[in-house]
Amino acid sequence: MRSIFFIFLFAGFNLVAYNQIIKGTVLEKGTNSKISTAAIYYAGTFVGTLADKNGNFELAISKNTSMPLTISSIGYYSVTLTDFSTEKPLIIYLTPKVYELKEVIITSKPLVRKRKEYLKLFKDEFLGISFNARNCDIVNESDITFNYDSCEDTLKAFASKPLLINNRALGYKITYYLDKFEYYKKNKSFFYKGSIIFNVDLMSDETNKQLSDQLYETRRRNAYIGSRMHFFRTLWADDLQNAGYTVKNSDNKYFSSEDIVTTEDTHSPDSYNRYRKFLKYTENLQLYFTGWTNIVFLKPRVYFTQDGNFDNLGITWDGEMAVQRIGDMLPFEYKESVNNNH
């Protein structure tokens, strides 16, 4: 099994008028230049907006108080805010991307053939190899460049523009801001970091609605059941056993939700912890659904929310859930059909 570290952020752009409004300005770190191309959105939602020509933005937050706020722009590393207030405007600084182009590209084979090899490896690890992944198209593949460090036996991928991806299996069009991708050939592991924006849901296309109802919903449900989102939603509802999950430690001690979940009492109306629970255990855990997954803790506790969002910086996955990639991802707005309960 391979241990893989994921950082995923999900969001999109549907503006809705709520009572609470957050305001701010997006600037370039070091120069204070205004960034008019910035996208400001919630991790895990379809709610977002774009900065104006002066880098200013406004965004409603009252229905997304448990969600982190993500800011992305072409040519900059994304920033995620996990705790902020509506009392005063935010000043957000984005750091320009500096591409590490010093690695030597191996040219023992023709360059075109080598790029094709790198692109396949990238797509297999980034999109995945499932049916859903195989039905994903990266529209702007030409914006991806590769560099191979022969000393470290590491392949790095860079994207000069956000990746535009059509998921024909699940019926989504998404944008992905790639901050980092590294594949370590020696142990066949990899790391990538970035932000996903769900832009279009093809199930809303009335001209194709019957087909989408029959195919997209079935495929989405299949992608959902047994996913990380499904696990954390089930954990929140204290329904692991009914959902078919088994959780134990290395000594074969089995746990219920209440054994590994804790909450924090707080009287602060602005505290994010009012909308969060925490997965907490002193060792790694083993999770079984249709196969085994090892949950490796990088932090003493890992927050998660009712919709299945969780702290990606706090966990690595090894096993069944580690094979899930961008091609199998669903937006956090996804709701399982009441007629298809597991």
Q: Which pair of tokens denotes residue 114?
A: 């080598």
Q: Please report, in tens digits, the pLDDT of each residue of the chain (342 residues total).
A: 444 444 444 443 443 333 478 899 999 999 999 999 899 988 667 778 899 999 999 988 766 666 788 999 988 989 988 777 778 899 999 999 876 544 444 444 557 788 899 999 999 999 999 999 999 999 999 999 998 887 778 999 999 889 999 999 999 999 898 989 999 988 888 888 888 888 888 887 655 566 667 889 999 999 999 999 999 999 999 999 999 999 999 999 999 999 999 987 554 554 556 778 999 999 999 999 999 999 999 999 999 999 899 998 899 999 999 999 999 999 998 998 765 444
User: Which CATH architecture describes the domain 7-94?
Assistant: Sandwich (2.60)
The pLDDT, as a whole number, for residue 153 is: 86
Q: Given this model, what pLDDT does residue 106 score?
A: 45
Say what the pLDDT of residue 209 is: 60
Closest by CA to 173, choosing from 134, 207, 135, 199, is 199
pLDDT at 47: 78
Nearest to 256 by CA among 273, 243, 269: 243
Per-residue tokens: 45: 């939602």
Which residue from 215, 143, 210 is spatially nearest to 172, judged by alpha carbons?
A: 215
Q: Domain map of the chain by residue range?
A: 7-94, 111-204, 228-323
| pLDDT on residue 14 | 41
Tokens of 194: 């970035």
pLDDT confidence of residue 63: 64
Q: What is the 3-state secondary structure (H, E, C) of the chain?
A: CCEEEEECCEEECCCCCCCCEEEEEEEECCCCCECCCCEEEECCCCCEEECCCCCEEEEECCCCCCCCEEEECCCECCEEECCCCCCCCEEEEECECCCCCCCCCCCCCCHHHHHHHHHHHHHHHHCCCCHHHHCEEECCHHHEEEEEECCCCEEEEEECCCEEEEECCCCEEEEEEEEEEEEECCCCEEEEEEEEEEEEEHHHCHHHHHHHHHHHHHHHHHHHCCCHHHHHHHHHCCCHHHHCCEEECCCCCEECHHHHEECCCCCCCCCHHHHCEEEECCCCEEEECCCEEEEEECCCEEEECCCCCECHHHEEEEEHHHHCCHHHCCCCCCCCCHHHCC
Do the bridges between strand 189-201 and strand 3-7 make them parallel or antiparallel, or are there none, so unpaired? parallel
Place of tokens 């199998």: 328
